A and B are shown apart, each in its own frame.
Chain A
């Protein structure tokens, strides 16, 4: 990371707690890719084909990482690590955008990507220590009638635009609107992101991290050994990992 920024000593503790967060239990993740598929279906993500994906241009907003430890026969697959935008509270992608397309949502405490501001400099992608931004290198074809499944709640992106995980902000907004209309707070578990919803192993849990009673906060407390990736960079990620084993 180029930046030397460290979390400011003067930051109040409230600023260290996001609004929405996720815990991912790597001991449970089986690497089945259901979350990757669900994310693509929910968020109108383009598939890029064999050649472009071979060049690393695939558009996964979430990917399962696995590494190897040791050599045969004492070899181990490290616990699968679903990696997605960490929705950093102090995000390295944000200050580098010349077009203010990569901005922080004050209301939701997540990182937004404003597609119609994005001019495609890819500075944010270069600056993301998690490598979790994907760039539309082309207008990827979606032959008819595949376009029928496009989710009308999610913008379709074009060539030259950077995109990334939004914590399914369309679902957040929908739930918040419904709660507001009924004059209540969103109940814990009322909605969840596409990846958490589909996970057959219940490895992903999404919810309010600013509410100590929410399931996601309780899990973080019970486990007590949560890891935030590359925390030393001072990014203040909103995703907590429980290492397997």
Chain B
């Protein structure tokens, strides 16, 4: 260790820890946490040099991967995947690895604070005063004047607020996350409702397939459950136990997922539905029999002309799809984030009917619902968020509580979330980090970091069995933070009346137990117990509870092809000459930018670190007269951004792309004032399912004459010149 702590410092530190514990647990047992000890002092139950491991759940995204945290002397040292967790089987993504840099981030919110909105300076409060503020807000306003906006994780907090809302007549909590916006989950769910019999998240068994056609689905990056889908990809490619499966990606800009495809088909944005239907028609003709109604309305030659794919290529692909055993078509990502996104999702889902793979290995299922869940809980779509913002602007809500989401950064700037906050009397944030939304709040009552927290997360997709992933504190809270559930429980007690009756729990752990207890009577659990204490001990030890039986649903596809499917092209907002494709940075995503090692991970496709770039085809760049590192101005119908050019060889010349993840104005020293946020360019355009048409814009490029070099890994590579292909 490089540190030099004085004994006095240690005593101070230990004192803070003890005080925090006392507050957090209320009258609960202090043994909820393992104390962080001075480097020189060993806890009695620990041996020098031996680690203690705690199973918990990753909160970097909402997928719900199981983690095991290696700790020593009360410090978390390393995050590993939980090898027995059915979703991730011991693996994590880069964001999961870097979660420690969130826990020990130098820019966390350390105490409850009060501030003038937008002001950098803030006044510290005590937790007693903070709890009183929450209680007063609950009492002062009518229940329907109180709104909760929460992120897609954790689920236990969402359940608590939902229960409180039901009992008191408050508005049901609104859930949102930028990842689900860019996943276009509402579109997927709506397409499933229209074609597969009910709404829900489809599960695509990539691992069992032999020939995957992906229309824009970035399933190796951030889409739905990336670690699980990456494992599926690994099984697809495995040539040892079966034949190596193949993979074709249709997208205008080669994503990191598309880079792994055997064939990358750069089609004109907006023609995905047309291409899918054309492949459907050609494949149906090859298979013989009568032409299904769904594909009858499309003319392959027309589709070829509009999409920019040669007709013989379409025919060849259709032949591959028709003749392959184990063909699978996946709709996702930017293909759905367009004005015709729903039509794309339906057309691509319908392709699976030709393969006849519904409910079969290598095919399309409904994701297993989490234990005790009866239907898929979809986060709010961008359209629903616009409605919410309109209500905020109209002054419908007097108090807004925000947890686990950063709407000022994540929502398109054109939705004007920041301005809408002016319509709210009191904004209370529970942010762990000083993000943009916390900066615009009156109070920040910081929640613990995920690794310091209790909770659970329902696994929405990715595992074949129903999984409830459990969280427990792996370390004692580092700062004077308090679990939001505990704050709400204490505040409802103070508020009294129906609030106190709604949540009759002593603390977070008791609430958690009440939610976990029904699992004891569920069948097929991989463990069970007769009493709750034993059950909870197993729940914590294993990092959750899951069934041993397959919970995936078989879609009802009786007449899936006996309907008209629309092949209309997407319409694009704006006047520019370039299609604009924002994509989520796989390593930063919406909340990774404050972790320095995530900043220093090179992007898989461009190897750029620490900044934002715009990808332009070298041919286009030459026509525009711009080169690498030149700064250009991107003009959309709602905004402009200045960003550095990266000449990207695998993008259509009529398309440009930008990663989402940078461009924070707050959020700590590593994130703030670095790069730009493409959400600032996005207009409030939606598809039929209410998802944002984020890939449905056309933009202009203007030269600025400025140069801003990008930090990129590739410049030091290729000393032998092999494969560098520097044009």
User: By the criterion CB–CB under 8 Å, are A68 and B650 in contact?
Assistant: yes
Contact call A30/B72, Cβ cutoff below 8 A: no
CB distance from A160 to the nearest CB of B (A): 15
> Is A32 a contact of B604 with CB atoms below 8 Å?
yes
B57 within 8 A of A: no
In the complex, B501 has a CB within 8 A of chain A: no
Residues of B699-727 at the interface with A, using a CB-CB cut-off of 8 Å, are 709-713, 715-720, 722-725, 727
The 5 listed contacts between A and B (C-beta, < 8 Å) are A30-B230, A47-B600, A64-B604, A68-B649, A230-B720
Instruction: For B309, give the chain A residue with the smallest CB separation.
Output: A73
By beta carbon, the residue of chain B nearest A58 is B600
**Which residues 180-229 in A have Cβ within 8 Å of B in the complex?**
194, 197-203, 222
**Residues in chain A near residue B94, CB distance under 8 A:** 32-34, 36-38
- When the two chains form the complex, which single residue of B231, B598, B611, B710 contacts A37, counting CB atoms closer than 8 Å? B598
Chain A residues near B722: list those with CB within 8 A.
67
Chain A residues near B715 (CB-CB < 8 A)? 54, 56
A156 at the interface (CB under 8 A from B): yes
How close is A158's CB to chain B, nearest CB, in angstroms? Answer: 9
One of A16-24, A97-105, A115-123, A146-154 at the interface: A146-154
Contact B75 A148, beta carbon cutoff 8 Å:
yes
Residue among A27, A31, A51, A144 with the highest chain B CB neighbour number at 10 A: A31
Segment at the B interface, from A4-12, A74-82, A84-92, A106-114: A74-82
Would you call the interface of chain B mostly helix, strand, loop, or mixed? loop
* Stretch binding the partner chain, chosen from B76-84, B176-184, B322-330: B76-84
List chain A residues, Cβ under 8 A from B234: 28, 200-203
Residues of chain B within 8 A of A15, CB atoms compared: none
Q: How close is A112's CB to chain B, nearest CB, in angstroms?
A: 21
**B28 part of interface (Cβ distance < 8 Å):** no
Instruction: Return chain A residues, CB-CB under 8 Å to B92.
Output: 34, 38, 198, 200
* Assembled-state Cα–Cα distance A40/B96 (Å): 13
Q: Give which listed residue, B599, B649, B712, contacts A72 with CB less than 8 A.
A: B649
- On whether the beta carbons of A41 and B597 are closer than 8 Å, the reply is yes
A42 at the interface (CB under 8 A from B): yes
Residue B105 at the A interface, CB < 8 A?
A: yes
Asked if residues A40 and B605 are in contact (CB atoms below 8 Å), the reply is no
In chain B, residues 649-674, which have Cβ atoms closer than 8 Å to a Cβ of chain A? 649-653, 669, 674
| Alpha-carbon distance between A171 and B49 when the two chains are bound, in angstroms | 13
Assess the B231–A34 pair: CB atoms within 8 A. no
Q: Does B623 have its Cβ within 8 Å of any Cβ on chain A?
A: no
B598 and A64 contacting across the interface, CB-CB below 8 Å? no
Q: Mark B1-33, 1 if CB is under 8 A from A, else 0.
A: 111000000000000000000000000000000
* Cross-chain contact B724 with A67 (CB below 8 angstroms): yes
How far does the alpha carbon of A54 sit from the alpha carbon of B226 in the complex, in Å?
A: 29
Are B88 and A200 in contact, CB atoms less than 8 angstroms apart? yes
Q: When chains A and B are docked, how far (Å) is the Cα of A69 from the Cα of B259? A: 11
Task: State the Cβ distance, B224 to closest chain A Cβ, in Å.
Answer: 14
B602 at the interface (CB under 8 A from A): yes
B106 within 8 Å of A (CB atoms): yes
- Residues from chain A with a CB closer than 8 A to the CB of B78 are 41-42, 149, 151, 194
Bound-state Cα–Cα, A105 to B306, Å: 62
The residue among A49, A198, A199, A203 with the most chain B CB atoms within 10 A of its own CB is A198
Interface residues on B, range: 35 or more
The smallest beta-carbon distance between B179 and chain A, in angstroms, is 15
The answer for the CA separation of A181 and B617 in the assembled complex, in Å, is 60
What residues on B are CB-neighbors of A159 within 8 Å?
Answer: none
> Residue on B with the closest CB to A51?
B711
A79, B727: Cα distance in complex, Å: 19
- 5 A-B pairs besides A32-B93, A67-B718, A142-B2 with CB distance below 8 A are A30-B230, A30-B256, A47-B597, A54-B715, A147-B104
A152-B724 in contact (CB<8A):
no
Residues of A within 8 A of B602 (CB): 33, 36, 63-64
Min CB gap B277→A, angstroms: 22
- Cα separation A27 to B246 with both chains bound (whole Å): 11
Q: Flag the segment in B260-268, B280-288, B395-403 that touches A.
A: B260-268
Whether the pair A145, B604 counts as a contact (CB closer than 8 A) is: no
A70 to B257, CA, bound (A): 18
Q: Are A146 and B101 neighbours in the complex by a CB distance under 8 Å?
A: yes
Chain A contacts for B221, CB-based, 8 A:
32
Residues of B within 8 A of A71 (CB): 649, 727
Contact A50 B723 (CB under 8 A): no
Asked if B351 CB lies within 8 Å of chain A CBs, one says no
Tell me if B610 and A53 are in contact (CB < 8 A): yes
For the complex, is B506 an interface residue (Cβ under 8 Å from A)? no
Identify the A interface with B (CB < 8 A). 27-28, 30-34, 36-38, 40-42, 47-51, 53-54, 56, 58, 60, 63-73, 75-78, 80, 131, 142-152, 156, 194, 197-203, 222, 230, 245
Contact of B711 among A36, A40, A50, A65 (CB under 8 A): A50
Residues of B within 8 A of A145 (CB): 104, 106, 478
Cβ–Cβ contact A143 & B604, under 8 A: no
CB distance from B359 to the nearest CB of A (A): 26
A40 x B106 contact (CB < 8 A): no
Distance of A31 Cα from B78 Cα, bound (Å) = 21
Closest Cβ of chain B to A96, distance in Å, is 17
Closest to B96 in A: A34
Let me know if B374 is at the binding interface, CB within 8 A. Answer: no
Q: Report chain B residues within 8 Å CB of A147.
A: 1-3, 104
| Residues A200 and B711 in contact, CB atoms below 8 Å apart | no
A28: chain B residues at CB < 8 Å are 233-234, 237-238
A179 to B93, CA, bound (A): 30
Which residues of B, 485-505, contact A by the 8 Å Cβ criterion?
A: none
Give B235-254 as 1s and 0s: 1 = Cβ < 8 Å from A's Cβ atoms.
00111100010000000001
Contact B106 A143, beta carbon cutoff 8 Å = yes
Given the known interface contacts A27-B237, A37-B98, A149-B104, the answer about A199 and B717 at a Cβ–Cβ threshold of 8 Å is no
> Given known contacts A32-B230, A67-B723, is B649 in contact with A151 (CB within 8 Å)?
no
Question: Cα distance A197–B240 when bound, in Å?
Answer: 21
A41 and B97 in contact (CB under 8 A), knowing A150-B1, A198-B81? yes
For the complex, is B270 an interface residue (Cβ under 8 Å from A)?
Answer: no
Nearest CB in chain B: distance from A130 CB, A: 9
Kindly state whether residue B641 has any CB partner on chain A within 8 Å.
no
Residues from chain B with Cβ under 8 Å of A53 in the complex: 600, 609-610, 711, 713
Interface centre among A47, A71, A197, A199 (most CB of B within 10 A): A47
B230 touches A66 (CB 8 A): no
Question: Are B596 and A47 in touch, CB under 8 angstroms?
Answer: yes
Report if B291 contacts A (CB, 8 A). Answer: no
In the assembled complex, B90 has its CB within 8 A of some CB on chain A? yes
Identify the interface centre among A78, A150, A200: most chain B CB within 10 Å of its CB: A200
B259: nearest residue on chain A (CB-CB)?
A: A77
Contact between chains at B233 and A131 (CB < 8 Å) = no
Q: Which residues of A contact B540 (CB under 8 A)?
A: none
Contact A131 B711 (CB under 8 A): no
Asked if B66 is at the interface (CB within 8 A of a chain A CB), the reply is no
B523 within 8 A of A: no
Cβ–Cβ < 8 Å partners of B237 in chain A: 27-28
Taking the complex as formed, is B586 at the interface, i.e. its CB lies under 8 A from any CB of chain A? yes
A201 touches B80 (CB 8 A): no
In the complex, B100 has a CB within 8 A of chain A? yes
* Complex partner residue of A69 from B95, B610, B723, CB under 8 angstroms: B723
B601 within 8 Å of A (CB atoms):
yes
Task: Determine whether the beta carbon of B105 is less than 8 Å from that of A131.
Answer: no
B264's partner among A76, A151, A230 (CB-CB below 8 A) is A76
A111 vs chain B, min Cβ distance (A): 20
Distance of A161 Cα from B467 Cα, bound (Å): 47
Contacts A72-B649, A151-B77; A66 near B605 (Cβ below 8 A): yes
Contact B93–A34 (Cβ < 8 Å): yes
B residues within 8 A CB of A200? 88, 91-93, 226-227, 230-231, 234
Contact present for B106 and A54 (CB under 8 Å)? no
Query: In the assembled complex, how far is the CB of residue B425 from the closest CB belonging to chain A, in whole angstroms?
Result: 36
Give CA–CA (A58, B609) in the complex, Å: 10
Cβ-defined contact, A75 with B650, below 8 A: yes
A75 to B257, CA, bound (A): 15
Contact partner of B75 (CB less than 8 A), chosen from A34, A131, A149, A197, is A149
